[in-house]
Amino acid sequence: MSLQCGIVGLPNVGKSTLFNCLSNAKAQSANFPFCTIEPNVGVITVPDERLNKLAELVHPQRIVPTTVEIVDIAGLVKGASKGEGLGNKFLANIRETDAILHVLRCFDDDNITHVDGSVNPVRDKEIIDFELQLKDLETIEARISKVQKQAQTGGDKAAKVAYEVLSRYKEALEQGKAARTVTFETKDEQKIAHDLFLLTNKPVMYICNVDDNSAVSGNKYVEMVREAVKDENAEILILAAKTESEIAEFETYEERQMFLNEIGLEESGVSRLIRAAYSLLNLETYFTAGPQEVRAWTYLKGSKAPQCAGIIHTDFEKGFIRAEVIKYDDYIALGSESACKEAGKMYIEGKDYVVQDGDIMHFRFNV
């Protein structure tokens, strides 16, 4: 499943440093704007302790985790919507992603230049918001000019619905609000809204990149961001990219945990970020467990059993008969598939079953 989160932000806020922590791919990291020009793509393993616990019970030949794609996109500057800096490239790259990880500089460091001369994460956020909103408004106005006459003078019902959707988006964008703040009730409206692929309609998480001493509790800059986004449908995550780069240098899990304990963290910010990115993309995990492998499979939240079966192989979906489902907690408590079956904890589900996060699945099919 090739859904992607794009890391965005102004130049020199720590995007590439963070990407390097996330991925084995090494994006160039330097103290000047536009260091990242082509987007770097990293396929990142999603940490999931459930996979390890299942493996401890099953003793498979191999363990296969699930992954998420992270894209490091060039830094944006004022005027990007008009092509300033690398604006056109930035906007094209972000349009191709499914969710946004917006990195904000929340630390002071005289040795690292800020593109606007001072540290102010709310101003930085508003610069990018404004550029994305301008580009979306340009898209909306172009579409409105095509459907307005049909909607107002003709009997075209589809054009009327489209015009209503476009008008509501236009009103919000002109007020400086993101498209994601507008909601629609009917399926027709929702489909039109989705097909516009607006930049500010993508789910967003604000990553507050703090100094080492603020990694646990945050700082004044984080509080500024919290206040600024309180009315948005967005999440905040605090991490220190510099600290994360130090954690990434340790070779063993034990060394990393010892370092984390010393600085007062239970787990790395990178681990929290990867799971948060996975959730931001509306993804969940089901498992298959057997002597050959214990494997995590990624699916879109709300998917039904045949669609989830098709992720393994298209034949599984075409010839779907039923799914045998064991809940994760039951499997861990009873210790094996056979014990779950004997205890009546294996459930037979049909094509309308909505798969739940953590389900252990076995599909029956015939083609």
Tokens for 142? Answer: 């172009």
pLDDT > 70? residue 302: yes
In angstroms, the CA 45 to CA 24 distance is: 11
pTM for the full predicted model: 0.81
Condensed to tens digits (0 to 9), the pLDDT of residues 32-82 reads 333 444 557 788 888 889 999 999 999 999 999 988 888 888 666 555 445
In angstroms, the CA 27 to CA 194 distance is: 32
What pLDDT, on the 0 to 100 scale, is given for residue 14?
84
With H, G, I as helix, E, B as strand and everything else as coil, classify residue 119.
coil
Determine the average pLDDT of the residues in 118-140: 90
What pLDDT, on the 0 to 100 scale, is given for residue 247?
84
Give the model's confidence band at 85: pLDDT under 50 very low, under 70 low, under 90 confident, else very high: very low
In this structure, the number of other CB atoms found within 10 A of the CB of residue 85 comes to: 18
CA distances from 201 to 68, 143, 180, 187, 298 (A): 20, 16, 4, 17, 23
With H, G, I as helix, E, B as strand and everything else as coil, classify residue 343.
coil
- Kindly report each contact of residues 248-256 with a partner whose C-beta sits within 8 Å and lies 24 or more positions away, as own/partner: 248/20, 248/21
pLDDT > 90? residue 118: no
Determine the average pLDDT of the residues in 7-17: 84
Lowest-confidence pick of 34-48, 132-146, 178-192, 266-280: 34-48
CA distances from 211 to 120, 150, 237, 240 (A): 14, 55, 14, 6
| Region for residue 40 given its phi and psi (left: phi exceeds 0; alpha: psi -120 to 50; beta: otherwise) | beta
Share of the chain above pLDDT 90, in %: 42
CA distances from 199 to 41, 166, 192, 306 (A): 19, 14, 15, 32
Tell how strand 40-45 and strand 67-72 pair up: antiparallel
Condensed to tens digits (0 to 9), the pLDDT of residues 321-343 reads 999 999 999 999 999 999 999 99
- DSSP annotation of 290 reads -
Q: Which helix (H) or strand (E) holds 285?
A: strand 283-289
